[in-house]
Structure 1
Amino acid sequence: MLDKTLSKHQRKIIIITMVSVLTTSVLIFSLFFPIIIFFVVTKLKASFTTNDSDLRTSYPLLPSLFLLFKNRGRFTLWTSEIVLAAPTLTLSFHRDFAGRKIISADPAVVRHITKTHFDNYDKGRVFRSTLYDLLGDGIFNSNAEKWKLQRHIASSEFSTKSLRRFVETVVDSQISGRLIPIMATAAAGNAAVDFQDVLQRFAFDNICKISFGYDPRSLSPALPSVEFAAAFDAAVNISGKRFLELFPLVWRIKKALDVGSEKKLNVAVGKVREFATNMVRKKKKKIERRLSLDQPNMDKDNDLLSRFLVSGYTDENFATDIVISFILAGRDTTSAALTWFFWLLSNHPGVEAEIMKELKKWKPKTAASAYDEAKEMVYTHASLCEAMRLYPPVPFDSKEALNDDVLPDGTVVKKGMRVGYLPYAMGRAERVWGKDWAEFRPERWLDWDAAADKWAFVGRDAYAYPVFQAGPRICLGKDMAFIQMKGVVAAVLRRFRVVPVGGATPVYVANLTAKMEGGFPVRIEARSEESS
């Protein structure tokens, strides 16, 4: 008991100190206990060996902890190797202190959890709590009625021609006004540039303009550090790393104490949400002013936020959550796809030659007609799909079972278990793509139409190729993404060659979205008029 002669303030300080010491002790114990056990197990259980190909045979006392720690920097690649070696392409394993999980690369399992039994699988408590600070109840972090409402609103807006034209206009202006001039400057100076960074800035400016009409101008000649962009980047990276904690309790303790990475996350999320909320308020005032003047179409904005607000969904938290979700969806996905696409293209000159032949035939008359004419870029479309098969922008997705279930391959799922699928592994499954799965071959997406004397695109089953997810949650921005990617490919390849610096194979690094480790250093070479 605390001495009653102490003042209330003194007792409060002592209690806070005791709690801090206790939580710090727990944190230190959580960090060092596995190491102690490692040496104990190594000494006392020398007869047991680690087999990286099978989680279930490793370390009897802590089944998978040591392998998780060993592979924490390449979790997606490691789990992909394991699941592809499984006879059914599905594996159940126990992640210490985080429960039993199931991971799969089987299209039948993807169909089962994303469509056939959609109502039995949602985002789940773990996923939602891990991303709640950043995404709140946004469309990518919500379930049931909240998700249905946002999906309905977004679906109706994404289907409008006016939004499509707005997207085309934004993308076209960003390409011609910023991307191409920056590349031309790099080509003239023969200087190496991080093309991954350039593409990320391009995508960020685009999605901010499309989402809430704000242009951060991060893709400016000086490639400046933009506070909102930096805060968003930090928030996404730290939120994603929460999933990789060996002991989820660790990040929760750090969050409670507001220390370390969680303190940085708190600051970053605060900046992101403050900025987004201010944008919501400005848009609401602008709309209210138009309505007060009885001129609803005066100076009308076409961004997604304005559309949601005009439709009557004016709650600040709701609008902020949904806009942040769309920025996350459009920020790194297209830039990641394009980064790997240009690297693959540099190693496959035959594919590049075929795309160039197609581009010479495709000459958009106006920016407004670009969408319709882009449909003719069939070989380019196939090449982008093939790049995303090998290097999907979103490497992993998972759901939580609301009730007991059995997967198509007989795997038993208990209520509360997480079931995930790996697009990265699925793109490498010989059972799905054949023995030549490792080849970058756009032709696997095409059939030659002899009568029309041209290629015809042949789409793949969304459950075998869940790059844009599948079922009711399939990506609404898929067409928007292809507009952006095709526009960039056409504009860049007509004018330049993208030549990687160094011959090393880039490392695929997975977080919430995937990137190249260390960036993508390239030199930009201008094409001659004849070759373009």
Structure 2
Amino acid sequence: MLKTSFHLYPKGKGMRVNGFDLLGDGIFNIDGDGWKFQRQVSSHEFNTRSLRKFVEHVVDVELTDRLVPILASSAATRTTVLDFQDILQRFAFDNICKIAFGYDPAYLMPSLPEAIFATAFEEAVFITTGRIRTNLPMIWKLKRLLNIGSEKRLRIAVGVVREFANKVTKEKKLELEQKSSLDSVDLLSRFLSSGHSDEKFVADIAGPRVCLGKEMAFLQMKRVVAGVLRRFRVVPAADDLVDPVYVSSFTAKMKGGFPVRIEVRNEIK
């Protein structure tokens, strides 16, 4: 559907209006020639061999120098509970900033420091998601007009995000996805055919809008799985009777995080 019928599923006016304050005219929020131009420029950069080698280096350093020592320290105490969701978000945030901006925010440190940019970005994403999900858009539009409540917080958060981006640019570069249908289409057929394809499982979207960072994300996941699970056991610390609660956002999350205890595996001889 997103590949063969791409022309029938633009972002649409609704997504553009809801996301404009945060995403502006960026590649995630536009259609047509503007999107095509940004896609071509970005695609060229993402497909260079030098970038892939740099990504591998950045991820390996973050894994070896920061993630593994924090997990080892937690395992040594035996009773420490970590929010593994927060830990991995910090890991990804450091990697993205170093790769895209040449800037190390040092967000994944033993003290688990608060990063103003990361906090502001999470706030902006949360409020923007609320805009997209609401059935009464006039409410957030009125709040924005009056500069009150969540819309005032969004304006402040976006200001922080833009200030950060401007500073690092001067010094040195999603789960929730919305489309508008221009025609009727049969959605059942994509699950009836045999075999696996990227078009059936679209966490990274599919077709011409497939996520440019998909391979980078898979590289991070593979490195983390290989580097962490051969050393440690990651044991859920939540009550077995409590089911995780999914939080709808630009990225999939668990409400309240993912509390775990870290245990050292016996060495494999």
> Same fold per TM (> 0.5)?
yes
Q: Give the equivalent residue in structure 2 for 1:514.
A: 252
Question: Offset of 1:244 from its aligned partner?
Answer: 2.0
Task: Give me the whole-angstrom Cα distance separating, in 2, the residues matched to 1:227 and 1:116.
Answer: 42
Task: Give me the whole-angstrom Cα distance separating, in 2, the residues matched to 1:432 and 1:181.
Answer: 46
Question: Offset of 1:152 from its aligned partner?
Answer: 0.5
Q: Give the equivalent residue in structure 1 for 2:267.
A: 529
TM-score, normalised with respect to structure 1 = 0.48
- Given residue 467 of structure 1, which amino acid in structure 2 is its aligned partner? A
> Matches of residues 129-144 of structure 1 in structure 2 within 5 Å?
129-144=17-32
- Given residue 26 of structure 2, which amino acid in structure 1 is its aligned partner? G
Q: Does the aligned pair in 1 maintain the 2:177–2:250 contact within 8 Å?
A: no
Higher relative contact order (CA 8 A, sep 6+): 2
SS at structure 2 position matched to 1:475: coil
- Given residue 41 of structure 2, which amino acid in structure 1 is its aligned partner? I
Q: Does the aligned pair in 2 maintain the 1:194–1:520 contact within 8 Å?
A: yes
> Matches of residues 364-513 of structure 1 in structure 2 within 5 Å?
394=175, 396-401=176-181, 403=182, 405-408=183-186, 431=192, 460-501=196-237, 502-503=239-240, 504-513=242-251
SS at structure 2 position matched to 1:142: coil
Question: Offset of 1:189 from its aligned partner?
Answer: 1.1
SS at structure 1 position matched to 2:28: helix
Cα 1:152/1:409, change in 2 over 3 Å: closer
Q: Does the aligned pair in 2 maintain the 1:432–1:464 contact within 8 Å?
A: no
SS at structure 2 position matched to 1:116: coil
Equivalent residues, number: 265
TM-score, normalised with respect to structure 2 = 0.92
- Residues 311-343 of structure 1, C-alpha deviation per residue, up to 9 Å, x if partnerless? xxxxxxxxxxxxxxxxxx5xxxxxxxxxxxxxx
Task: Give me the whole-angstrom Cα distance separating, in 2, the residues matched to 1:498 and 1:236.
Answer: 28
Return the index of the structure with the highest Cα Rg: 1
Match of 1:278 among 167, 170, 173: 167
Question: Offset of 1:162 from its aligned partner?
Answer: 0.3
- Given residue 407 of structure 1, which amino acid in structure 2 is its aligned partner? V
Task: Give me the whole-angstrom Cα distance separating, in 2, the residues matched to 1:133 and 1:406.
Answer: 30
Task: Give me the whole-angstrom Cα distance separating, in 1, the residues matched to 2:265 and 2:66.
Answer: 19
SS at structure 2 position matched to 1:217: coil
- Residues 241-264 of structure 1, C-alpha deviation per residue, up to 9 Å, x if partnerless? 111223011001001111001111
Is 1:169 aligned to residue 60 of structure 2? no
- Given residue 273 of structure 1, which amino acid in structure 2 is its aligned partner? R
Task: Give me the whole-angstrom Cα distance separating, in 2, the residues matched to 1:409 and 1:465.
Answer: 13
SS at structure 2 position matched to 1:223: coil
Task: Give me the whole-angstrom Cα distance separating, in 2, the residues matched to 1:214 and 1:133.
Answer: 25
Task: Give me the whole-angstrom Cα distance separating, in 2, the residues matched to 1:496 and 1:505.
Answer: 24
Task: Give me the whole-angstrom Cα distance separating, in 2, the residues matched to 1:153 and 1:475.
Answer: 14
Cα 1:176/1:249, change in 2 over 3 Å: same
Question: Offset of 1:139 from its aligned partner?
Answer: 0.9
Q: Does the aligned pair in 1 maintain the 2:205–2:211 contact within 8 Å?
A: yes
Q: More strand by proportion, 1 or 2?
A: 1
Q: Give the equivalent residue in structure 2 for 1:245.
A: 134
Question: Offset of 1:281 from its aligned partner?
Answer: 2.5
Q: Does the aligned pair in 2 maintain the 1:130–1:239 contact within 8 Å?
A: yes
Structure 2: runs of 5+ lacking an equivalent:
none
> Matches of residues 267-306 of structure 1 in structure 2 within 5 Å?
267-283=156-172, 305=173
